[in-house]
Amino acid sequence: MKNFKYIIALFTLIGFTSCSNDNETYATNGETIFRTGVNIHGAVLQDISQSEIKKVHGCANCHGDNGKGKFRGGGDKQTGSITYYDLTNTSIYTPVYNDDLIKRFIDSETKSDDTHANTGVVYVMKETDKIDLINFLKTL
Ligand code: HEC
């Protein structure tokens, strides 16, 4: 009977530790933001009240695991590539993005050509989070 209690306690513990793992983190803060929309400290970087999409999204949800863009929800429009390599490629974006223009996009959904995009998600990020994210985009 005593052993039985220990076994129950053990399973409860395993249950708790696996549940508290909901906020997945990756090797760097930038990659964690890219994949989850939450930074490595657990802060949600999406302004949920301003976002049309209320579920927390990382960039990868809409731009693909490799950032190269993907078709969303059976739609016929593909999101653009947001690898740093492509964002700074003259044959893809005119004018090309640089670090400051990527930061501006994150802050205000303003594209490099000054037009407004509608992505459904509004982010509020600290400068350090933006820098970490951009550094990750450079690795893609
Ligand atoms: C809910 C889906 C969604 C998420 C999440 C998302 N995007 Fe996007 N993104 C879009 C869509 C859709 C567009 C195109 C909007 C348009 O052209 O009107 C876009 C456009 C962009 C553009 C502009 C490209 C251009 O055409 O000039 C950049 C840069 C960008 N996203 C970066 C990001 C980054 C960085 C993140 C994560 C912090 C992110 N996006 C998260 C859907 C998303």
What are 100-131's pLDDT values in tens digits? 999 999 999 999 999 999 999 999 999 999 99
The mean pLDDT value for 40-60 works out to 96
Q: Is residue 48 part of a domain?
A: yes
What is the domain extent for residue 36?
24-137
Q: Is 108 helix (H, G, I), strand (E, B) or coil?
A: helix
Atom 10 of ligand 1, residue of closest alpha carbon: 119
Query: What's this model's pTM, rounded to 2 decimal places?
Result: 0.86
Q: Is residue 6 part of a domain?
A: no
The mean pLDDT value for 27-53 works out to 97
**Confidence band of 71 (pLDDT split at 50, 70, 90):** confident
**Confidence band of 18 (pLDDT split at 50, 70, 90):** very low
Q: Is residue 120 part of a domain?
A: yes
Q: Is residue 74 part of a domain?
A: yes
> Which of 76, 79, 98, 110 to mutate to test ligand 1, by most ligand atoms within 8 A of the CB atom?
79
Contacts (Cβ under 8 Å, ≥6 apart) of 41 = none
Question: How many Å lie between the centroid of ligand 1 and the Cα of residue 1?
Answer: 58
How many domains are contained in the chain? 1
Our answer on whether the CB atom of 136 is closer than 6 Å to any ligand 1 atom is no
Q: Is 78 helix (H, G, I), strand (E, B) or coil?
A: strand
Q: Is residue 9 part of a domain?
A: no
| Plot region of 109 (φ>0 → left; ψ -120 to 50 → alpha; else → beta) | left
Angle at 5 between CA 4 and CA 9, to 5 degrees: 120
Question: How many Å lie between the centroid of ligand 1 and the Cα of residue 16?
Answer: 35
Atom 2 of ligand 1, residue of closest alpha carbon: 62
Our answer on whether the CB atom of 62 is closer than 6 Å to any ligand 1 atom is yes
Gap between the Cα atoms of 135 and 132, Å rounded: 5
Q: Is residue 52 part of a domain?
A: yes
> Which of 63, 88, 93, 123 to mutate to test ligand 1, by most ligand atoms within 8 A of the CB atom?
63
